[in-house]
């Protein structure tokens, strides 16, 4: 093993440790992380927002670590490290080992691989799945081994089972097959069809779940993709794709800037004349981004910048391939240190944010809040813990996670909870709201069966003693209902 390769793996280990420890400055698990855990516990084949794969990974991992919240930060960083390793393995087949290591290191100039990777969710899982899926496809194309075809099918299935936008990657791979003459032989290869069958087999239970729940997950998708002040106006068709593109440029800027400086001070080389490799990198590396721009242009609604999470897994490889330069031991060391520096800088910024913020999503003591409300439940109702918690996503998942097998009813609306039936309304339910107005909306819907609200003052403080005061409102529905 070369010193560069050894240093690369040492860096990945250190980076994993640092980004697993820094978020421990938070008192609260991120919302998406709590949500994934509850999906893994309660929703097996689907959820109201996404396919279930991220939950399948999260809940077993959490339980193995004795439900230690910090384990979720470790899982996030394992996804990052695994994705970067597969980026290196894929890049090695295009630019050689030394450049592949530097291409993988360039990914740490992309905010998704550092600052934004703390919050375990479907996007973080996609950082691993997109490179794995692409690597095994390329391997299958080059070597035509059964193992590569089967692994491609498996990870393609998992990619779709993690987030529907995984289909954009498969679309890009399919487009590459059609555009590249040497790849079109796949269309006559029975191994490719067996691979596809594996992917379909993996996703089929979820498709059946979607059918049984009237495609409820699509309500979330269309809801997320229909907002914005200029939604569906002429200006919206222009401004939202531009804002999405601008966000992606900003989030990848450190990688671009680092390689620009590196390239400027290095001896230039000629681009490799390999049309198959060139087409693969351009189509698989850039078409997914173009697809999002086209969707935004046609739809005219806001595109979430975080949807760009997995799009740039080939960015470092594209830089090294299309703007090649001679790599010396000294220049490689400089670029390596530069990218390490970006990761350290992002970690320092995140540390400062954790120290100074008074955000509820960072410093609310979730366990203490849950325990205090559940103690009140027991005192006022004479019952043990409730079977159900009705609240927004933040509080519903919080109580479901830190209570004893409490099931969430999101927004106290049975129609938004496909695993629930109207029968749950025959049971006592703990109801939690962010403010009195929200609680009164529930009261208007459910009338006298919902008790008057109880106010719980909250104090959320940062590490410098600054305090933000907030209130939580809770009450009890159908308190005389079934036990």
HEC letters along the chain:
CCHHHHHHHHHHHHHHHHHHHHHHHCCCCCHHHHHHHHHHHHCCCCCCCCCCHHHHHHHHHHHHCCCCCCHHHHHHHHHHHHHHHHHHHHHHHHHCHHHHHHHHHHHHHCHHHCHHHHCCCHHHHHHHHHHHHHHHHHHHHHHCCHHHHHHHHHHHHHHHHHCCCHHHHHHHHHHHHHHCHHHHHHHHCHHHHHHHHHHHHHHHHHHHHHHHCCCHHHHHHHHHCCCCCCCCCHHHHHHHHHHHHHHHHHHCHHHHHHHHHHHHCCCECCCCCCHHHHHHHHHHHHHHHHHHHHHHHHHCCCCCHHHHHHHHCCHHHHHHHHCCECCCHHHHHHHHHHHHHHHHHHHHHHHHHHHHCCCHHHHCCHHHHHHHHHHHHHHHHCCCCCCEEEECHHHHHHHHHHCCCCEEEECCCHHHCCCCCHHHHHCCEEEEECCHHHHHHHHHHHHHHECCCEEEEEEEECCCCCEEEEEEEEEEECCCCCC
What's the rounded Cα separation, in Å, for the pair 394 and 375?
A: 20
Going by C-beta distance under 8 Å and a sequence separation of 6 or more, which residues neighbour residue 149?
136, 140, 191, 192, 194, 195
Q: In the prediction, which pLDDT does 318 show?
A: 97
Looking at the domain assignment, is residue 11 inside a domain?
A: yes
Q: In the prediction, which pLDDT does 27 show?
A: 94
Looking at the domain assignment, is residue 136 inside a domain?
A: yes
Residue-number span of the structural domain to which 197 is assigned? 3-356
Looking at the domain assignment, is residue 198 inside a domain?
A: yes
Residue 472 and residue 455 in one domain = yes
Residue 376 and residue 231 in one domain = no
Q: In the prediction, which pLDDT does 302 show?
A: 82
Residue 266 and residue 146 in one domain = yes
What's the rounded Cα separation, in Å, for the pair 70 and 437?
A: 34
Report pTM: 0.95
Q: In the prediction, which pLDDT does 227 show?
A: 59
Residue 336 and residue 308 in one domain = yes
Mark residue 214 as left, alpha or beta (left: phi above 0; alpha: psi -120 to 50; beta: remaining).
Answer: left
Residue 342 and residue 373 in one domain = no
Looking at the domain assignment, is residue 482 inside a domain?
A: no
Residue 343 and residue 393 in one domain = no
pLDDT in tens, the chain (483 residues): 688 899 999 999 999 999 999 999 999 999 999 999 999 998 879 998 999 999 999 999 999 999 999 999 999 999 999 999 999 999 999 999 999 999 999 999 999 999 999 999 999 999 999 999 999 999 999 999 999 999 999 999 999 999 999 999 999 999 999 999 999 999 999 999 999 999 999 999 999 999 998 888 888 777 665 556 666 788 888 999 999 999 999 999 999 999 999 999 999 999 888 899 999 999 999 999 999 999 999 988 888 899 999 999 999 999 999 999 999 999 999 999 999 999 999 999 999 999 999 999 999 999 999 999 999 999 988 888 899 999 999 999 999 999 988 999 999 998 888 888 889 999 999 999 999 999 999 999 999 899 999 999 999 999 999 999 999 999 999 887 666
Looking at the domain assignment, is residue 483 inside a domain?
A: no
Looking at the domain assignment, is residue 71 inside a domain?
A: yes
Tokens of 392: 């927004």
Residue 156 and residue 287 in one domain = yes
Looking at the domain assignment, is residue 383 inside a domain?
A: yes
Looking at the domain assignment, is residue 309 inside a domain?
A: yes
Residue 171 and residue 202 in one domain = yes
Boundary residue ending a domain (356, 383, 404): 356
Q: In the prediction, which pLDDT does 43 show?
A: 80
CB 228 within 8 A of CB 301: yes
Q: In the prediction, which pLDDT does 3 show?
A: 81
Q: In the prediction, which pLDDT does 225 show?
A: 58
Residue 117 and residue 45 in one domain = yes
Boundary residue ending a domain (356, 380, 407): 356
What's the rounded Cα separation, in Å, for the pair 195 and 147?
A: 10
Boundary residue ending a domain (356, 390, 422): 356
CB 320 within 8 A of CB 102: yes
Q: In the prediction, which pLDDT does 228 show?
A: 63
Residue 431 and residue 306 in one domain = no
Residue 315 and residue 382 in one domain = no
Residue 48 and residue 107 in one domain = yes
Q: For the chain, what is the domain count?
A: 2
What's the rounded Cα separation, in Å, for the pair 341 and 114?
A: 12
């Amino acid at each position: 093993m070369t010193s560069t390769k050894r240093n690369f793996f040492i860096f990945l280990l250190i980076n994993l440790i640092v980004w697993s420890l820094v978020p421990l400055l938070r008192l609260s698990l991120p919302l998406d992380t709590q949500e994934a855990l509850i999906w893994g516990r309660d929703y097996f084949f689907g959820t109201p927002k996404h396919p279930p794969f991220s939950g399948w990974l999260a809940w077993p991992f959490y339980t193995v670590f004795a439900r230690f919240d910090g384990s979720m930060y470790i899982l996030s960083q394992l996804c990052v490290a695994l994705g970067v390793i597969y980026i290196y393995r894929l890049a090695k087949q295009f630019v050689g080992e030394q450049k592949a290591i530097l291409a993988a290191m360039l990914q740490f100039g992309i905010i998704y691989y550092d600052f934004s990777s703390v919050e375990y969710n479907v996007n973080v899982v996609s950082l691993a799945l997109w490179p794995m899926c692409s690597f095994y496809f390329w391997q299958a194309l080059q070597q035509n081994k059964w193992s590569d075809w089967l692994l491609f099918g498996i990870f393609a299935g998992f990619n779709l089972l993690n987030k529907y936008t995984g289909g954009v990657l498969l679309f890009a791979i399919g487009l590459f097959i059609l555009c590249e003459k040497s790849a079109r032989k796949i269309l006559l290869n029975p191994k490719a069809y067996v691979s596809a069958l594996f992917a379909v087999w993996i996703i089929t239970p979820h498709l059946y779940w979607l059918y049984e729940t009237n495609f409820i997950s699509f309500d979330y998708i269309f809801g997320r993709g229909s907002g914005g002040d200029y939604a569906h106006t002429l200006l919206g068709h222009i401004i939202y794709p531009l804002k999405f593109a601008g966000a992606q440029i900003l989030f990848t800027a450190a990688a671009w800037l680092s390689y620009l400086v590196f390239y400027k001070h290095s001896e230039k080389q000629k681009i490799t004349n390999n049309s198959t490799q060139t087409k693969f990198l351009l189509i698989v590396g850039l078409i997914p981004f173009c697809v999002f721009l086209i969707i935004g242009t046609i739809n005219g609604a806001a595109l979430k910048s975080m949807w760009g999470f997995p799009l740039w897994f080939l960015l470092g490889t594209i830089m090294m391939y299309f703007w090649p330069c001679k790599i010396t031991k000294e220049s490689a060391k400089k670029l390596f240190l530069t990218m390490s520096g970006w990761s350290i800088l992002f970690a320092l910024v995140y540390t400062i944010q954790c120290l100074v913020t008074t955000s509820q999503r960072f410093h609310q003591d979730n366990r203490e809040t849950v325990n205090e409300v559940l103690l009140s439940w027991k005192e006022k109702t004479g019952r043990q813990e409730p079977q159900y918690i009705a609240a927004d996503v933040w509080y519903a998942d919080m109580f479901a996670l830190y209570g004893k097998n409490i099931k969430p009813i999101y927004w106290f609306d049975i129609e938004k909870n496909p695993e629930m039936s109207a029968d749950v309304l025959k049971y006592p339910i703990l109801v939690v709201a962010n403010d009195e107005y929200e609680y009164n909306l529930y009261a208007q819907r459910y009338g006298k069966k919902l008790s008057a609200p109880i106010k719980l003052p909250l104090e959320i403080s940062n590490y410098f003693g600054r305090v933000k005061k907030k209130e939580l409102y809770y009450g009890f529905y159908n308190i005389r209902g079934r036990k």
